Amino acid sequence: MKLFSLIFSILLATSATAETLSGRVVGVADGDTITILDSSNTQHKIRLAQIDAPEIGHGKNKPAMPYGEKSKAALGNLVENQVVEAECQTKDRYGREVCKILVNGMDVNLEQVKNGMAWVYTKYAREQTYFEAEATAKTKRIGLWADSDPIAPWEFRHR
DSSP string covering 61-129: TSPPPTTHHHHHHHHHHHHTT-EEEEEEEEE-TTS-EEEEEEETTEEHHHHHHHTTSSEE-TTT---HH
Distance CA 32, CA 56 (A): 11
Query: What's the CA dihedral at 93, 96, 97, 99 to 10 degrees?
Result: -90
Q: Which one of the listed residues 47, 97, 111, 134 is annotated catalytic?
A: 47
Q: Which one of the listed residues 19, 24, 55, 127 is annotated catalytic?
A: 55
Whether 96 sits among the annotated catalytic residues: the reply is: yes
Q: Which one of the listed residues 96, 97, 111, 134 is annotated catalytic?
A: 96
Contact between 51 and 109 under an 8 Å Cβ cutoff? The reply is yes
Whether 55 sits among the annotated catalytic residues: the reply is: yes
Whether 24 sits among the annotated catalytic residues: the reply is: no
Q: Which residues are catalytic?
A: 47, 55, 96
